[in-house]
Amino acid sequence: MSAQELDIVSKWKRFVSGGFQIFRHLKNHTIFIDEKSQVYGVLGLRDNLNDLFSGRPLPMMVNAVLLPFKGKIVYDGTLKAYNIFVGGGIRSGLNETYMAAKQNNRIVTTLEPAAAPQIQVRHQPKPGKDWKPLVEELVRASENLRGGSPIQNAAFALLRDSARVVQSAVQETDNLEEIWRSKQQVQKALKRLQAVLERAEQ
């Protein structure tokens, strides 16, 4: 074996094996989610995994061995698939696991910490439009919407609280606690509106 081949094989001790859900095929890799909710971006060793499982509904439960290979993650060429129906609840949970990993840049794309960052690299978002002036105007305008019928009054309160949560999201981007507080006010306002609508006589 060449020195390069020996180096590749020596890194296989970092393998990950067990049960996975093949959740989604993406452009750069296929998403595997293990039993501990860790999310991996996996490549086919020779064949594209999307082509390999063409026509098979996802998510699909498999038993696999994931290996480090030139800074990427591949499987060992053998996948044992299980013909198990995945219900809506499990599917929803897997989707939330994937979306949380994606949002927080926790998709593992390499098993070689020395060669590259283990976690998917965070892409810096492009500078967006400054929404603060428009949102401030919206908040001020919503403060003047008060009174009217019980339904209108409850709807106006919902609009005011919704405007404030947008204000928090724009001004306090990294202050999740403040955004959560604003969001809870929106939920309360929505419940009040729902109660008013339910009390309204037809």
14-49 pLDDT, tens digit per residue, is: 788 899 999 999 989 999 999 999 999 999 877 788
Among 64-68, 88-92, 116-120, the range scoring the smallest mean pLDDT is 116-120
What is the Cα–Cα distance from 161 to 167, expressed in whole angstroms?
Answer: 10
Our CA angle for 97, 102, 103, nearest 5°, is: 100
The pLDDT mean for the chain works out to 85
Residue 115 has pLDDT above 80, yes or no: no
Residue matched to tokens 């998510």? 59
Kindly list the distances between the CA atom of residue 185 and the CA atoms of 10, 25, 90, 141, 157, in Å, as whole numbers in the listed order. 55, 38, 30, 18, 10
Alpha-carbon span 84 to 22, nearest angstrom: 12
Q: Is the pLDDT of residue 70 over 90?
A: no
User: Is pLDDT of 10 > 80?
Assistant: no
Mean pLDDT of 57-66: 91
pLDDT at position 158, please?
A: 95
pLDDT in tens, 145-175: 988 899 999 999 999 999 999 998 888 777 8
pLDDT the model gives residue 142: 93
Q: Rounded to two decimals, what is the model's pTM?
A: 0.64
| Amino acid at residue number 95 | N
Percent of the chain scoring above 90 in pLDDT: 48
